[in-house]
Amino acid sequence: MNVEQQQVIPVYILSGFLGSGKTTLLQQLITYWKNQGLRPAVVMNEIGDVNLDGLLVEEEVPMAEMLSGCICCSIRADLSSEMSELIAKEKPDVVVIEATGAANPMEVLDAVAEVALYQKLEIKPMITVVDAPHLLELARTQKGKTYRLMQEQIRCGSVLILNKIDRVDQEEADELRGQLASWNSFARIIPAVKCQVNLSELLQFQGGHQESDHREHDHTHASHEHVTVYTHYFRSAVNSELFEQFIKELPRDIYRGKGVLTFSDTSSRFLFQYAYRESDYMRINPQGNIPDVAVFIGEHFDKQLLASRLIELEESVKSSGSI
């Protein structure tokens, strides 16, 4: 199929520590989508060789399982290929990734961004499920790798589901809310038991910004999306020098970028990489239908602004008449 005709598939990433309730949420999401006549597909991984969580998902839901490791560290390339295979084979309307509890969320985002280079995806802001009693216990001791990873997962979430609230008392729940807000003031916090939240609100919120949400805070934000991904599919070639200039001027809060580009002033296509203010361009000759695309990952940056700058680059080539 022509890339132009490809449907943009929303991708939801569920993050959260081991046993926090991700699978519990996943099951509800699947039912919800199915009731709407949509076809969800799941990418799931589990440390160990048996995907126990997978057994909890209805059999007819297409699923790519990645065993023996965590998506982020051992099989990053596999996540990309598993996901594209799953999409090509199953043609889902929506994809959900349940990242293992031990996964670093930025690494997972990075791996998914890779897939967006050759598949039209809309990477939704991350949903982090927080295990209330577990976090309470760790917050009191404040140490260890687990604590730091949990903190990182909380920092990256745009929605934090404070789950298992039945296992803490009111005072502890308030303490936890305060803790979450201090680590991530952008995210919306939803206390829950068994991840029972209003799913249409959760997903709707994921699609954009809801002004009403801001009122809860005593400060205003342009968006709740703390860690953000912006994917731009180019409609036409851009000038290489202007693009390089654009990359040099990227705001500091964008720390990762990658893409495949056709420049109006060069003969081949390029793979570009950008990480922590360093950029790199490599000539490539991709096989198959690879769109011209750039993916940017960063914290709380203005997607609209980035989009309009990139559109300006496209327009400037068109108006100058160069090919």
Using alpha carbons, select from 181, 173, 71, 73 the residue that is nearest to residue 131.
Answer: 173
CA distance 200 to 210: 13
8 A C-beta contact, residue 292 and residue 233:
yes
Q: Are 121 and 9 in contact (CB under 8 A)?
A: yes
CA 305 from chain centre, in angstroms, equals 20
Residue 177 contacts ligand GTP per CB under 6 A? no
68 or 322: CB nearest ligand GTP: 68
The DSSP line for 102-130 is T--HHHHHHHHHHHTTTS-EEEPPPEEEE
Q: Which is nearer to ligand GTP, 24 or 228 (CB)?
A: 24
Residue 24 makes contact with ligand GTP by CB under 6 A: yes
**Interface region with ligand GTP, contact rule CB under 6 A, candidates 118-126, 193-201, 230-238, 296-304:** 193-201
Nearer to ligand GTP, 20 or 231 (CB): 20
Q: Which of 9, 10, 21, 202 binds ligand GTP (CB under 6 A)?
A: 21
Backbone angles phi, psi at 232, to 5 degrees: -115, 120
Our finding on whether 20 is near ligand GTP (CB under 6 A) is yes
Helix (H) or strand (E) holding 96: strand 94-98
Q: Using CA atoms, how far apart are residues 242 and 252, in angstroms rounded to an integer? A: 19
184 part of the interface to ligand GTP, by CB under 6 A: no
d(CA 71, CA 127) in angstroms, rounded, equals 16
Query: Binding to ligand GTP by residue 18, rule CB under 6 A?
Result: yes
Least distance (Å) from ligand GTP to the CB of residue 113? Answer: 23
Dihedral, CA atoms, 317, 260, 293, 112, nearest 10 degrees? -160
| Minimum distance from residue 135 beta carbon to ligand GTP (Å) | 13
Asked if residue 193 binds ligand GTP (CB under 6 A), the reply is yes
Answer yes or no whether residue 149 interacts with ligand GTP by CB under 6 A. Answer: no
The interface region with ligand GTP, picked from 16-24, 72-80, 177-185, 251-259 by CB under 6 A, is 16-24
Q: Which residue is nearest to ligand GTP (CB)?
A: 23
Give the one residue of 34, 76, 120, 194 binding ligand GTP; rule: CB under 6 A: 194
Residues contributing to the site for ligand GTP (CB under 6 A): 16, 18-24, 53, 101, 163-164, 166-167, 193-195
